[in-house]
Amino acid sequence: MQEQSTIRLFKRGPSAEVRLAVFVALAIVLLVVDARSKMLEPARQAISVVVYPFQRVAMAPGDLAAYLSSWTDSAAVVRSEKEALQRQRVELAQLSTHAAQLSAENEQLRRLLQVADTVTQPSVAVEVFYEPPNAFNRRLVFNKGSTHGIRAGMPVIDDGGVVGQVVRVTPYTSEAALITDDKVSIPVQVLRNGLRLIAFGGAVGSKVEARYLTSDVDLEVGDTLITSGIGGLFPAGLPVARIDSVERDSSTGFAVAVGSPLSFPERYRHFLILLVPEPVLNVDDEDMTNEQ
């Protein structure tokens, strides 16, 4: 009679401690062999070739994130450099314009200094503070006033000629009406023949007019008008305007001459105000004033 054998449901092998000891020993042996010889180099190469695709797949998300981050950073850097170049271009353009403006102002100031040397009256150099926004009056406001000796009635000139006349003064500012303003009239004379006239402002197109002339007046296109010195406010010999046209009306017997100012108030910022003394009335004039 056969002995009954016990049915084994699970195959039992070495314990975990034994297997751990075997693997540790194997690892130590491989470390020693690898350190002392190159016998395992072909195996390492073959394993690295087999494992490489899996390494790439594992590293793909990180590489993609790094690429996107670098692309975004590069785009931001390019954008910032472009903006910096644009700002630099604008700044250079502003510097160039400012340098050209300073050069033009220096040239005009040199001409004003030459004019100041030629006139006998003392003068004050002024700069345009602002221009009143009035379409009907042609005025300029300067940055100096009565504290610098400026009074109403004093003439304003540039290197071209008479610019206008001071009409209002505060301690630190002064307002001048240009010779094309309808409130200004200047005693002038024709440089060619000495004919005395009165130049009025208020003509159309920033012109001056010589009115109330006889039709046979000796006045031609191209004649230069200069201050006559009559009245004492405007010194004699300052250029005022050049005649552009002379309109003669034979039916009325009168003529009107229209001229262009020789000064350039719309171009420059610096001008000279002549500190002319107040006109002094003689005895006869004072007596007539008192009788009136």
- What is the spatial distance between Cα 119 and Cα 227, in angstroms, rounded to a whole number? 13
Whether pTM > 0.75 for this model: the answer is no
pLDDT of residue 290: 44
Q: What percent of the chain has pLDDT over 70?
A: 80
What are the tens digits of pLDDT across the range 160-189? 889 999 999 999 999 999 999 888 899 999
Confidence of residue 281 (pLDDT cuts 50, 70, 90): very low
Q: Count CB neighbours of 239 within 10 A.
A: 19
pLDDT of residue 264: 85
**Structure token pair of residue 290:** 């008192």
The CA distance from 105 to 108, in Å, is: 5
- 222 compared with 39, residue with greater pLDDT: 222
- Using 50, 70 and 90 to split pLDDT, how confident is the model at 136? low
